[in-house]
Amino acid sequence: KQEVTQIPAALSVPEGENLVLNCSFTDSAIYNLQWFRQDPGKGLTSLLLIQSSQREQTSGRLNASLDKSSGRSTLYIAASQPGDSATYLCAVQGAQKLVFGQGTRLTINP
Amino acid sequence: DAGVIQSPRHEVTEMGQEVTLRCKPISGHDYLFWYRQTMMRGLELLIYFNNNVPIDDSGMPEDRFSAKMPNASFSTLKIQPSEPRDSAVYFCASTLGSAEQPQHFGDGTRLSIL
């Protein structure tokens, strides 16, 4: 059974810092890995999707990497802003089923 | 473009009552998913449909839960009878085609069973 773990559970940093969120998974037989953002009282917004054959994806200040063999992914956020404050969820996809981590609650302090 | 639309946004009801949650997927998407989110268990997949047909309902917690998709633009998740432990946020998501596409989520229904 696939298990996804995210570390840390919560992170608070001052504005402008670069930061890394971590995700690990137990079964490397995945189709893709996705990073989502969730704002309070809202649904999930897909940030980046990395196919199993890819090593990384970039979108603006976000960069996600995937090391399938070691079962790890990182989400790098450059030059953090208060608007980046949210919960970030990692999910791995086997066939059509997404398995989510518990998320990292990120707070960027002005 | 309209995203995934869920209704109601909030539902408060008493134990034993029937609850119906509704979802309208993004037009043209052929996969629809129902998830439940709680503090203790995080996000869990309950059931998903492909072309209106239920494919995997192994995440449905018990027989009190049922889901239908009568057409490509509408799905319901029903709980009967409801219990306090069903209190959670229920999300609907849709996607098009293969595992190469991200899932698009609605804003969820926050359900409280008293």
Q: Name the 3-class secondary structure at A82.
A: helix
Interface of B with A in 55-84 (CB under 8 A): 55-56
- Cα B95-B51-B38 angle, rounded to 5 deg: 50
Q: What is the pLDDT of residue B9?
A: 95
User: To the nearest whole angstrom, how far is the Cα of A46 from the nearest Cα of chain B?
Assistant: 7
Q: What is the pLDDT of residue B65?
A: 97
- Contact B23/A at CB under 8 A: no
Separation of alpha carbons A71 and A78, rounded Å:
23
Separation of alpha carbons B95 and B51, rounded Å:
11
Facing A32 at nearest CB: one of B33, B99, B108: B99
**Position B101 confidence tier, pLDDT thresholds 50, 70, 90:** confident
DSSP string, B32-94: EEEEEEETTTEEEEEEEEETTEEEE-TT--STTEEEEEEETTEEEEEESS--GGG-EEEEEEE
User: To the nearest whole angstrom, how far is the Cα of B100 from the nearest Cα of chain A?
Assistant: 7
**Position A1 confidence tier, pLDDT thresholds 50, 70, 90:** confident
Q: What is the mean pLDDT of chain A?
A: 94
**pLDDT tops 80 at residue B99:** no
**pLDDT tops 90 at residue A107:** yes
Give the contacts of B98 (CB within 8 A, at least 6 positions apart). none
Of all residues in chain A, what percent carry a pLDDT higher than 70? 99
The phi-psi region of residue B67 (left if phi > 0; otherwise alpha if psi is between -120 and 50; otherwise beta) is beta
**pLDDT tops 90 at residue A103:** yes
How large is the average pLDDT for residues A42-54?
Answer: 92
Q: What is the mean pLDDT of chain B?
A: 94
Residue B1 or B23, more confident: B23
Facing B103 at nearest CB: one of A95, A98, A103: A98
Separation of alpha carbons A28 and B54, rounded Å:
27
**Position A94 confidence tier, pLDDT thresholds 50, 70, 90:** confident
